[in-house]
């Protein structure tokens, strides 16, 4: 049976009973910012928020996130709450404010300079800095406090996202053992040798074993996690059921390959996508040449320089393709505060210029690099008008661009050139699978994208579309909720709406919980991680 928004709504109602759904993710799904003195809202780049927003719209509940926009405070109430989507409110976004030092140490530091390169293994050396680790710990405690406020007064299911919050599940369980806690780790989990070089590996693992359910993108990542825990901590393992028990608490570890809402492509294209495609061609002087597109955050895991070197190689191997196509790369600026990301944007810019200099003519530039944020509506038009889409990640948990491209091709045309080192390649074997480290292999993939006969494209796209339609984001969320929802207890009384002001009793209760968290953290520190 196929999964739809409606079926997910039913599952959420029946499985969650009266329990409140609280999603925790560092990134908020809607950002308010000032533009020309006015407040506007935008959706951030990145797969996680795009995937989870339809789920929250279907299930309702609260999304707790870092408020990162310069107009976020103004758009929210005194408690940081704002109803979203702003143009059609369906759930609550609870924003939490971080000071510069915490954002620096927790987000740019431990999350994105330590765990991100550690888990992706793309030859970017992870940074191990005690100050970053302390900020990460502090911010996990701050999020725990906010989640506990949101969960007050009744049963709840807390669904934690990603590597920013490895410590949060244990903190929540220590304060509220009755809460059901699940976490989805969106990025790869490396082998034990790689992960265990982290000086705080044991504390991270212990935090994650506070979950009732822990999800990864693939079975391979689950296996790696199991092996890592086995080497580092005293636990009981059930390898048939894939559960780990530590100090009497059991965590199930399962693969849940994340996906997209395929219906969104139609919405984003609207009736006028053809007119918008003509405008794009005019704006970037693309004439009517076939287009290869890449759509990524500018991140060193995505293999963008490798892609440009492959365009260079393609034109060396096939000079007959001169003036016959364009490669258009959308590179959304990302984590630009970090030197590694700024350097990468410069490198990509320089490479694009080099390829254009070597192969371009007066009338033609092979590469167009757009280093700016694009809306999902604009990106979907690019997918729809392209001859091919190139996803050349060096390592990627899933990669939702690949699935978005397939979802946009209701004409059953287009070629997906896809790195073998993405989770998506396991589900989309009809893509042209390539090794992005091998310039000739990737160049050959680009060549196939420009020359594949229409019938062959159709055969492949049809199968890939069936796969994405069937294994959509509603299946991902539905199977995950079904699995973890079994553990949600029936509410004794209907959960009261959260009080706008904290009562003395609630305050005492909150302080006691914070003391419980603090005691737990101190005990962990004394135990040496
Ligand atoms: O899981 C990868 C992730 O952290 C997701 O939040 C999202 O897909 C992307 O990277 C965005 O990164 P950031 O929130 O740091 O801009």
Compute the distance between CA of residue 17 and CA of residue 24 in angstroms, rounded to an integer: 20
Compute the distance between CA of residue 452 and CA of residue 439 in angstroms, rounded to an integer: 20
| SS3 label, residue 2 | coil
pLDDT at 244: 98
Atom 16 of ligand 1, nearest CA residue: 334
Compute the distance between CA of residue 251 and CA of residue 210 in angstroms, rounded to an integer: 7
pLDDT at 529: 43
Q: How far is the CA of 45 from the centre of ligand 1 (A)?
A: 8
Atom index in ligand 1 nearest the CA of residue 397 equals 1
Query: What Rg do the C-alpha atoms of the chain give, in angstroms?
Result: 23
| SS3 label, residue 333 | coil
Atom 5 of ligand 1, nearest CA residue: 48
The per-residue pLDDT for range 407-448, each reduced to its tens digit, is 999 999 999 999 999 999 999 999 999 999 999 999 999 999
Name the class of domain 263-470: alpha beta
Compute the distance between CA of residue 360 and CA of residue 358 in angstroms, rounded to an integer: 6
Q: How far is the CA of 46 from the centre of ligand 1 (A)?
A: 5
Average pLDDT value over all residues in the chain:
94
Atom index in ligand 1 nearest the CA of residue 47 equals 8
pLDDT at 526: 61
Question: In 3D, which of 415, 448, 435 has the Cα closest to residue 318?
Answer: 448
Compute the distance between CA of residue 200 and CA of residue 388 in angstroms, rounded to an integer: 43
Architecture of domain 5-98+134-259+477-485: 3-Layer(aba) Sandwich (3.40)
Domain ranges of the chain: 5-98+134-259+477-485, 263-470
Q: How far is the CA of 187 from the centre of ligand 1 (A)?
A: 9
The per-residue pLDDT for range 265-298, each reduced to its tens digit, is 999 999 999 999 999 999 999 999 999 999 999 9
Question: In 3D, which of 513, 515, 518 has the Cα closest to residue 148?
Answer: 513
The band of 17, judged by pLDDT with boundaries at 50, 70 and 90, is confident
Protein residues with CB under 6 Å of any ligand 1 atom: 27, 46-48, 162, 186-187, 334-335
Q: How far is the CA of 455 from the centre of ligand 1 (A)?
A: 36
Ligand 1, pocket-test mutation among 43, 186, 221, most atoms within 8 A of CB: 186
Atom 1 of ligand 1, nearest CA residue: 186
The per-residue pLDDT for range 21-36, each reduced to its tens digit, is 999 999 999 999 999 9
Is the pLDDT reported for residue 500 higher than 80? no
The per-residue pLDDT for range 58-74, each reduced to its tens digit, is 999 999 999 999 999 99
The reply to whether 5-98+134-259+477-485 and 263-470 are identical in fold is yes
Atom index in ligand 1 nearest the CA of residue 162 equals 1
Q: How far is the CA of 316 from the centre of ligand 1 (A)?
A: 35
Atom index in ligand 1 nearest the CA of residue 44 equals 16
């Amino acid at each position: 049976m196929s999964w739809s928004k409606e079926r997910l709504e039913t599952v959420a109602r029946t499985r969650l009973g009266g329990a409140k759904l609280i999603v925790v993710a560092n990134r908020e799904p809607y950002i308010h910012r000032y533009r020309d003195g006015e407040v506007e809202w935008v959706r951030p780049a990145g797969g996680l928020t795009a995937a989870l927003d339809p789920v929250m719209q279907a299930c309702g509940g609260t999304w707790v996130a870092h408020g990162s926009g310069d107009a976020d405070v103004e758009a929210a109430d005194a408690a940081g709450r704002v109803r979203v989507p702003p143009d059609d409110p369906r759930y609550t976004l609870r924003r939490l404010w971080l000071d510069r030092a915490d954002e620096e140490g927790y987000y740019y530091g431990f999350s994105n300079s330590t765990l991100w390169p550690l888990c992706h293994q793309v030859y970017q050396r992870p940074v191990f800095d005690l100050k970053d680790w302390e900020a990460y710990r502090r911010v996990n405690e701050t999020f725990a406090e906010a989640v506990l406020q949101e969960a007050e007064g009744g049963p709840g299911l807390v669904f934690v996202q990603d590597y920013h919050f490895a410590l949060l599940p244990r903190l929540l369980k220590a304060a509220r053992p009755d809460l059901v806690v699940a976490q989805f780790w969106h990025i790869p989990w490396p082998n034990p040798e790689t992960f265990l070089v982290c000086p705080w590996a044991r504390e991270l693992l212990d935090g994650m074993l506070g979950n009732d359910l822990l999800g990864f993108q693939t079975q391979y990542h689950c296996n790696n996690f199991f092996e890592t825990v086995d080497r580092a901590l005293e636990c009981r393992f059930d390898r048939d059921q894939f559960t780990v028990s530590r100090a009497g608490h059991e965590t199930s570890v399962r693969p849940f390959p994340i996906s997209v809402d395929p219906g969104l492509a139609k919405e984003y294209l609207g009736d006028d996508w053809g007119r918008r495609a003509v405008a794009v061609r005019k704006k970037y002087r693309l004439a009517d040449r076939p287009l290869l597109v890449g759509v990524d955050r500018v991140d060193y895991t995505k293999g963008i320089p490798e892609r440009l070197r492959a365009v260079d190689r393609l034109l060396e191997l096939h000079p007959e393709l001169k003036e016959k196509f364009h490669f258009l790369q959308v590179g959304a600026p990302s984590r630009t505060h970090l030197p590694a990301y700024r350097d990468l944007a410069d490198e990509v810019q320089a490479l694009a210029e080099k390829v254009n200099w070597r192969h371009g003519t007066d009338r033609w530039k092979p590469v167009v690099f757009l280093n700016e944020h694009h809306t999902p509506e604009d990106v979907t038009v690019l997918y729809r008008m392209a001859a091919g889409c190139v996803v050349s990640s060096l390592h990627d948990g899933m990669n939702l661009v690949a699935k978005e491209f397939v979802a946009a091709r209701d004409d059953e045309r287009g070629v997906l050139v896809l790195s073998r080192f993405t989770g998506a390649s396991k589900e989309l074997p009809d893509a042209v699978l390539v090794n992005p480290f091998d310039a000739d292999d990737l160049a050959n993939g680009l060549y196939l994208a420009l020359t594949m006969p229409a019938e062959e494209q159709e055969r492949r796209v049809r199968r890939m579309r069936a796969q994405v339609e069937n294994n959509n984001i509603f299946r991902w969320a539905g199977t995950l909720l079904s699995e973890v929802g079994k553990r949600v207890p029936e509410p004794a009384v209907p959960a009261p709406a959260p009080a706008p002001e904290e009562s003395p009793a609630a305050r005492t209760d909150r302080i006691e919980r914070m003391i419980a968290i603090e005691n737990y953290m101190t005990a962990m520190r004394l135990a040496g991680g």
